[in-house]
Structure 1
Amino acid sequence: MLRWDKVLLALWALSPVLAWAPGPPVALLTINGAIGPAIADYIHRGIEQAGKQGAQLVVLQMDTPGGLDTSMRAIIKDILASSAPVAAFVAPGGARAASAGTYILYASHIAAMAPATNLGAATPVAIGAPGGGAQDEDGKTDGKAGKTGKSEGGGTSSTMTRKQVNDASAYIRSLAQMRGRNAEWAERAVREAVSLSATDALKMKVIDLVAEDVPDLLRRLDGRKLKVSDAERVLQTADVVATAVEPDWRTRFLSVVTDPSIAYVLILLGIYALVFEFSNPGLVFPGVVGAICVLVALYAFHLLPVNYAGLALMLVGIAFMVGELFFPAYGSLGIGGAIAFVIGSVILIDTDVPGFGVPFSLVLGLAAGTAAFLFLVVGMAVKSHRRPIVSGREELLGSTGQALEDCEPEGWARIHGETWRVRCAAPVRAGQRVRVVAMHGSLLEVVPEP
Structure 2
Amino acid sequence: MAAPILSLLSGSCSMLRKLRRVAALLAAMAICAAGANAQPAGGPQAAVVLSLDGIVGPATADYVIRGLQAAREQNAAAIVLRIDTPGGLDASMRDIIRAILASPIPVISYVAPNGARAASAGTYILYASHVAAMAPATNLGAATPIALGGSPPRPADSPSGPADQAGKKPSAEPADKTASAAPKDAGEAKAINDAVAYIRSLAALRGRNADWAEQAVRAAASLTAGEARAQNVIDLVADDVPDLLAKADGRRVRVGSADTTLHTRDLRLLAREPDWRTQVLSVITNPNLALLLLMAGVYGLIFEFMSPGALFPGIFGAICLLIGLYALAALPLTYAGIALVLLGTSLMVAEIFAPTLGVLGMGGAVSFVLGAILLIDTDTPALGVSLPLVAGVAAASLGMTFLIGRLALRSRHAPIVSGAEALIGLRIKVLSWADEQGYVAAAGERWRAVGPAGLAAGDTVVITAVRGVTLLVQPDAGLPPSKR
**Do they fold alike, i.e. is TM over 0.5?**
yes
2:197 match? 170
The one-character-per-residue Cα deviations of 1:50-102 (angstroms, maximum 9, x if unpaired) are 11111111111111121111111111111112232111111122222122111
1:442 to 452, 469, 475: 469
State the Cα deviation string for residues 208-258 of structure 1 (Å, max 9, x = none).
Answer: 111112121111122334442345544333222422211122211110111
Contact 1:115 1:212 in 2 (8 A): yes
Of 187, 198, 207, 2:234 maps to 207
For 1:94 and 1:433, locate their aligned partners in 2 and report how far apart those are by CA, in whole Å.
90
Distance in 2, Cα, partners of 1:148 & 1:413: 93
CA contact (8 A) 2:144 2:220 kept: yes
1: CA distance, partners of 2:412 / 2:319: 28
Q: Which residue of 2 aligns with 1:142?
A: 152
Q: Is the 8 A contact 2:361 2:401 kept in 1?
A: no
Other-structure match for 1:6: none
Q: Is the 8 A contact 2:147 2:380 kept in 1?
A: no
- Tell whether the 8 Å contact from 2:358 to 2:402 is kept in structure 1 after alignment: no
Partner secondary structure for residue 383 of structure 2: coil
Is the 1:326–1:382 contact (alpha carbons within 8 Å) kept by the matching residues of 2? no
Distance 1:411 1:144 in 2: 98
Change (3 A) 1:75 1:273: same
- Name the counterpart of 2:264: 237
Amino acid of the residue matched to residue 228 of structure 2? A
Deviation, structure 1 residue 261:
2.4
Q: In structure 2, do the counterparts of structure 1 residues 289 and 383 end up closer, same or farther at CA, with 3 Å as the change threshold?
A: farther
TM-score (structure 1 length as normaliser): 0.79
| Residue in 1 that maps onto 2:316 | 289
Report the equivalent of 2:327.
300
Separation in structure 2 between the aligned mates of residue 342 and residue 237 of structure 1, nearest angstrom: 53
Aligned to 1:134: none
Matching residue's letter, 1:212: D
Which shifted more, 67-76 or 300-309?
300-309
> Secondary structure of 1:406's partner?
strand
Alignment of 1:244-263 (within 5 A): 244-263=271-290
Gapped runs of 5+ residues in structure 1? 1-17, 128-137, 152-157
Give me the TM-score of the superposition, normalised by structure 2: 0.74
Higher RCO structure (Cα 8 Å, ≥6 apart):
1
* RMSD, aligned CA: 3.4
Shift in alpha-carbon separation, 1:388–1:61, aligned structure 2, 3 A: same
Identify the range of structure 1 (214-223 vs 232-241) with the bigger mean alpha-carbon deviation: 232-241
> Does residue 1:94 correspond to 2:115, yes or no?
yes
Alignment length (residue pairs): 416
Aligned to 2:125, what secondary structure does the other structure show?
A: helix
Instruction: Name the CA distance, whole Å, in 2 between partners of 1:223 and 1:422.
Output: 108
Distance in 1 between the 2:199 and 2:434 partners?
99
SS of 2:180's equivalent in the other structure is: helix
Q: What is the distance in 1 between the residues matched to 2:65 and 2:433?
A: 89
Residue 66 (structure 2) pairs with residue 45 (structure 1): yes
The structural deviation recorded for 1:260 is 2.1
Q: 2:216 is paired with a residue of what secondary structure?
A: helix
Task: Provide closer, same or farther for how the CA distance between residues 361 and 414 of structure 1 changes in structure 2, counting only shifts above 3 A.
Answer: closer
Q: Do structure 1's residue 108 and structure 2's residue 129 form an aligned pair?
A: yes
Which residue is equivalent to 2:140? 119
Partner of 1:155: none
Structure 2: runs of 5 or more not aligned:
1-38, 156-178, 478-484
Q: Which has the larger radius of gyration?
A: 2
Q: Which moved more, 1:420-429 or 1:109-118?
A: 420-429
- Distance across 1 between alignment mates of 2:92 and 2:153: 21
1:154-186, CA deviations, whole angstroms, 9 ceiling, x for partnerless residues?
A: xxxx22222222222222222222222223332
- Which residue number in structure 2 is paired with residue 31 of structure 1? 52
1:314-333 deviations in Å (ceiling 9; x for gaps): 55555555666776666655
